[in-house]
Structure 1
């Protein structure tokens, strides 16, 4: 008598209601309406287990035998096949997390490390714009280097910096997925980079307006909120982020000092030391002109929250200018150098740059506020059409 494969396909098809053994613990439970289901009976650690293998309509005889053989082999090793199948199902469900969801969770967990809790969107935007539209619906466990290569290849050379950031952020997302217990290929981004090859890209500086042209541009600006923001940015040589996030409470009207929180300053995230900016007479006037626009405590509000990161750049593009707002920092620094406006450390500190090595900074703890105040007053005079000529300053 055969111990396995006792049933034929014909017997399975024409069997009436009842239970029919195919051998090795595989049973067919047939119903009145012609339907049925497969059941595997095994014994594990002296305990009898009955495991459903699917309906007769969906699982033919050959497939039922293959499934039965697989689960019998586990039972022979002392593994409960029902519990193992449940474990595999949980793992499969866990690994169905989509890339877009894991990326959002990774971004959320890193907000505390980012300037302004990531409100500018610079951390997430490379993923949001160039990766998630194509791969966001892919389960993170199925993501491989070919998917990544094909997604970033169109911008790998044309938008080299953005593509590199997108690849770097994706690597962080994969490590986040692994920390969640998901089965991912942590080497996928490394292998994708190897497939993409070296980038044909030359780093170019942000276009800066020559300092000689700044007065004419400044004179052309009106008193709208965007133009006032640009005015303050030019006069203080600040980056766009501190200007956009400037709060009314950050301005001291008596001392004419704008205090920028550390989290709004590049390179000072996670630190406690603020950066004080002395306001020239013109910068102080601009800040007062902007006050009526204030909303929600912000000096330069946007429709929702602070002014958009692209507002000032768009204003300059609409003027058909190749220059960018950030370039005014270079305009200021070049003016200071060409005009011999002051000592190196004063000019660099005015830009918020760290000057000197760690030992030197431990002894020099002054932020050179008063020296910078004189420097920014003369820069303001130049910007507003004055001579901008300075006498050589002595390091304090």
Structure 2
């Protein structure tokens, strides 16, 4: 290198008094009266003079300052502003430091409004928390690739297929969330991981449902008057999901209509749409009986606090030796409407709170078929709650209520 360019030596830089000393090529050493010192690079870019700090002396040696100065001068020769370029590189580095743990929590937080009970039950986050974050939580999200995902989910890909599928889907949401934050991530990583993992051997099975012709026998067997039995009776009569049924509150019932808040519904169009359920005379009678167990307005309160759990009803049926589960009564109702009535599909689906028809069709159809559903649910209630003459119930003498 030319001595005209490299004017300073390590010894003169160290011994220099307070002042400004040029090393040539725009590199300067600024020494302050308080003993501190720093390197500064002066360049001209697009007609502007720029001063760029290169670090403190002697932490940054003369040799290190020269190497840094040459790197940034090379960018100036390419027409780039070295200060803006350094800021961009720092932002990129900071982005890569975002760990999956942080991104996943932020993604969960932003989606709480879409989830039942603000996701407090933990079902959205649990697949990530149990099966992804223990291995990848401390990895910068920008570094995660399909091999990382494959290695993480391969132990449960076939043995816990549904859980693995949910974990993969949640992870894909996290990657999209990271991209929306401006982080550099591979949005195809989960799809690539699916290709590496292959098709799952485990096949999803539907929740076991009681055949609709057996529903009256089971309903008649729920004669113990316990909270669990009353909850099962109302679940059958209304064909709703377990969550809103377990959280039914006095304030939601008025003039024979049960209005379920939008946040308690799954699969409804629009997060602000409440769902109205017509209550038959039998359903109102069950509600009246359940009021003696109510606590804080909740009809089906738990033993110690809150409301009864989803497992309470499932365990009740399990103790009776049944494979069927509470959620299956929705299927029982739907099969009954298809096989024993001439109910239009859109009315039957509306009874279940399902989305029916195309997006355009739904935009023009504003009715919830309340009058038709009142008639249908009254028929279902009459069928479900009436004993079958001359038939010996398979549930007679059933154990433990």
Structure-2-length-normalised TM-score? 0.73
Q: Is the 8 A contact 1:316 1:324 kept in 2?
A: yes
5 Å matches for 1:195-214?
A: 195-209=196-210, 212=214
5 Å matches for 1:1-396?
A: 2-3=2-3, 12=10, 17-18=15-16, 24=25, 39-44=39-44, 45=47, 47=49, 49-53=51-55, 56=58, 64-115=65-116, 117-209=118-210, 212=214, 215=217, 219=221, 222-252=224-254, 255=256, 257-261=257-261, 263-270=263-270, 272=273, 274-281=275-282, 283-301=283-301, 307-314=308-315, 316=317, 321-332=322-333, 341-345=340-344, 348=348, 351-352=352-353, 365=369, 366-382=371-387
> Helix, strand or coil: the match of 2:165?
helix
- Deviation, 1:206, is 0.9
Q: Aligned partners of 1:309 and 1:54: how far apart in 2?
A: 63
Deviations 1:301-334 (A, max 9, x none): 5677655454434555576653322123334555
Q: Aligned partners of 2:143 and 2:357: how far apart in 1?
A: 49
Residue in structure 2 matched with residue 392 of structure 1 by the alignment:
none
Moved more, 162-171 or 314-323: 314-323
Distance change in 2, residues 1:333/1:371 (3 Å):
closer
Distance change in 2, residues 1:306/1:105 (3 Å):
farther
- Deviation, 1:197, is 1.8
Q: Is the 8 A contact 2:244 2:264 kept in 1?
A: yes
Q: Aligned partners of 2:7 and 2:224: how far apart in 1?
A: 90
Q: Is the 8 A contact 1:345 1:355 kept in 2?
A: no
Moved more, 165-174 or 316-325: 316-325
- Deviation, 1:192, is 1.7
Residue in structure 1 matched with residue 396 of structure 2 by the alignment:
none
- Deviation, 1:379, is 0.4
Distance change in 2, residues 1:227/1:127 (3 Å):
farther
Q: Is the 8 A contact 2:267 2:355 kept in 1?
A: no
Q: Is the 8 A contact 2:39 2:57 kept in 1?
A: no
Q: Aligned partners of 2:92 and 2:246: how far apart in 1?
A: 46
Distance change in 2, residues 1:172/1:353 (3 Å):
closer
Task: Tell me the matched-pair count.
Answer: 377
- Deviation, 1:130, is 2.5
Q: Aligned partners of 2:31 and 2:357: how far apart in 1?
A: 85
RMSD over aligned CA atoms reads 4.5
Unaligned 5+ runs, structure 2: 394-401
- Deviation, 1:158, is 1.8
Distance change in 2, residues 1:370/1:83 (3 Å):
closer
Q: Aligned partners of 1:300 and 1:13: how far apart in 2?
A: 84
Q: Is the 8 A contact 2:175 2:185 kept in 1?
A: yes
- Deviation, 1:154, is 1.6
> Helix, strand or coil: the match of 1:368?
helix
Q: Is the 8 A contact 1:248 1:297 kept in 2?
A: yes
- Deviation, 1:195, is 1.7
Deviations 1:187-221 (A, max 9, x none): 22222222222221222121234564874687367
Deviations 1:262-291 (A, max 9, x none): 55444324174733233353x434322332
Distance change in 2, residues 1:62/1:251 (3 Å):
same
> Helix, strand or coil: the match of 1:367?
helix
Q: Is the 8 A contact 2:337 2:348 kept in 1?
A: no
Distance change in 2, residues 1:7/1:228 (3 Å):
farther
